[in-house]
Amino acid sequence: MSISDLNQRFAISGHVTFKEGPGGLTVAEVANGLAASTIALQGAHIMTFTPRGQEPVVWLSKFAKFAPGKSIRGGVPICWPWFGPHATDASLPGHGFARTVMWDVLETRAMADGATFLRFGLVETDATRAQWPHASTVQLEVSVGSALRVELVTRNTGKESFVLGEALHTYFHISDVAKMKISGLEGCDYLDKVGGTARKTQEGAIVIESEVDRVYLNTSADYLIEDSGFKRRIRVAGQNARSAVVWNPWVEKADKMGDFGPEGHRGMVCVETANAVENVVTVKPGEEHRLVATYSAETMA
Ligand code: TA6
């Protein structure tokens, strides 16, 4: 659909318009009385989220590359229908294909509380069907208000069950990694992916002083990103999510990736709401599975 068709069908004054964004990507530009957000139709990728009068909550690399078919460094990449490498075929893209293919806009709505609601649906093609030969649909529901609520909805429309891995791979904007700690995962087992894959147990809050790449398993609580530099706490509240991934590439890996920029790793941390590794989900015929994350920021004394 062209940008003018999108605006005719889905723009709402005081809430959302559609335009050409960086790299020629079509974006939904949300601006209401509570927050602003930019969402690319490629990947239904939430690129920014900034509550009114605050620092951005979501981090987007200043060196992000925007191009058709390429994942954007930052924002909320959607890992679907698998997380990390594919279980049996190493030639398939890491974290699945949902973040790099086109999604349609299905609905926009102004909410009674001033938030803006948007619903996107992944566009199936021969290429997606070749990678995921299961009868299914996947939609992303986003509410942009004083909090950002994201719901990834997978439906099994076929006659066979399938196994799904998924993550909302959210990059958070922090003042400095040295001024940040993450609580809520104390006592959880995790797979430490730095230098092998060892199973460990989290003791105390998470402090990041070197590369961190961990999949926490069988989780349930809210996670709090406490940032003494910005004097704020970002709350990550998940539903139907049994894993959490915490990632910061640190210097060497970020330099190799080429889209972080110098010292880029210092201003971000990924805290991902997920179902991964032993927490993958079986979706039965006719069933719907809904992965939910709500991100809100609170001032710290
Ligand atoms: O979620 C953490 C992780 O899987 C890391 O291992 C790291 O490589 C990262 O995601 C980024 O992956 P990407 O494919 O976006 O470069």
Give the pLDDT confidence score for residue 151 in this predicted structure: 98
Q: Is 64 in contact with 48 (CB distance < 8 Å)?
A: no
Give the pLDDT confidence score for residue 82 in this predicted structure: 98
Give the pLDDT confidence score for residue 226 in this predicted structure: 98
Write down the H helix ranges in 167-215.
none
Give the pLDDT confidence score for residue 197 in this predicted structure: 87
Catalytic status, residue 169: yes
Asked if the model's pLDDT at residue 195 lies above 90, the reply is no
The helices-and-strands tally (H runs, E runs) of the chain is 3, 23
Cα of 95 to ligand 1 centre, how many Å? 8
Cα of 140 to ligand 1 centre, how many Å? 21
For domain 3-299, give the fold. Answer: Beta-galactosidase; Chain A, domain 5 (2.70.98)
Q: How many CB atoms lie within 10 A of CB 199?
A: 10
Dihedral angle at the C-alpha atoms of 170, 276, 105, 269, nearest 10 degrees? Answer: 0
Element (H, E) at 233: strand 232-239
Q: Is 233 in contact with 207 (CB distance < 8 Å)?
A: no
Give the pLDDT confidence score for residue 24 in this predicted structure: 96
Name the catalytic one among 151, 166, 226, 272: 272
Burial class (CB in 10 A: 0-12, 13-18, 19+), 77: buried
Does the bond joining 81 to the residue before it have cis omega, within 30 degrees of 0?
yes
Map out the domains of the chain as residue ranges: 3-299
Q: In this predicted model, what pLDDT tens digit does every residue of 74-91 receive, in sequence order? A: 999 999 999 999 999 999
DSSP per-residue codes, 246-284: EEE-HHHHHHHHSSS-TTGGGGEEEEEEEE-GGG-EEE-
49 Ramachandran zone, left/alpha/beta (phi>0; psi -120 to 50): beta
Q: Who wins on pLDDT, 213 or 1?
A: 213
* Atom number in ligand 1 closest to CA 73: 15
Q: Who wins on pLDDT, 220 or 37?
A: 37
Q: Is 236 in contact with 206 (CB distance < 8 Å)?
A: no
Pocket of ligand 1, candidates 270, 271, 273: which has the most ligand atoms within 8 Å of its Cβ, to mutate? 270
Which residue owns the Cα nearest ligand 1 atom 6?
A: 213
Residue of 247, 240, 246, 248 whose CA lies nearest to 279 = 240
Give the pLDDT confidence score for residue 266 in this predicted structure: 98
Structure tokens at 233: 């706490």
Q: Is 223 in contact with 231 (CB distance < 8 Å)?
A: no
Mean pLDDT of 247-255: 97
Asked if the model's pLDDT at residue 11 lies above 90, the reply is yes
Q: In this predicted model, what pLDDT tens digit does every residue of 134-176 receive, in sequence order? A: 999 999 999 999 999 999 999 999 999 999 999 999 999 999 9
**Collapsing DSSP states into helix, strand and coil, what is residue 168?**
strand
Which residue owns the Cα nearest ligand 1 atom 2?
A: 247
Averaged pLDDT of the chain: 97
Give the pLDDT confidence score for residue 301 in this predicted structure: 80
**Collapsing DSSP states into helix, strand and coil, what is residue 198?**
strand
Q: Is 147 in contact with 295 (CB distance < 8 Å)?
A: yes
Residue of 74, 78, 65 whose CA lies nearest to 37 = 74
Distance CA 261, CA 278 (A): 34
Pocket of ligand 1 (CB under 6 A): 71, 84, 94-95, 169, 193, 213, 245, 247, 270, 272
**Collapsing DSSP states into helix, strand and coil, what is residue 79?**
strand
Catalytic status, residue 272: yes
Cα of 270 to ligand 1 centre, how many Å? 9
Q: How would residue 196 be classed by pLDDT, with cut points 50, 70 and 90? A: confident
Residue 9 phi, psi dihedral angles, 5° rounding: -85, -35
Which residue owns the Cα nearest ligand 1 atom 4?
A: 84
Mean pLDDT of 176-188: 98
Name the catalytic one among 15, 45, 95, 169: 169
Cα of 7 to ligand 1 centre, how many Å? 34
Which residue owns the Cα nearest ligand 1 atom 14?
A: 94
Cα of 292 to ligand 1 centre, how many Å? 20
* Atom number in ligand 1 closest to CA 193: 6
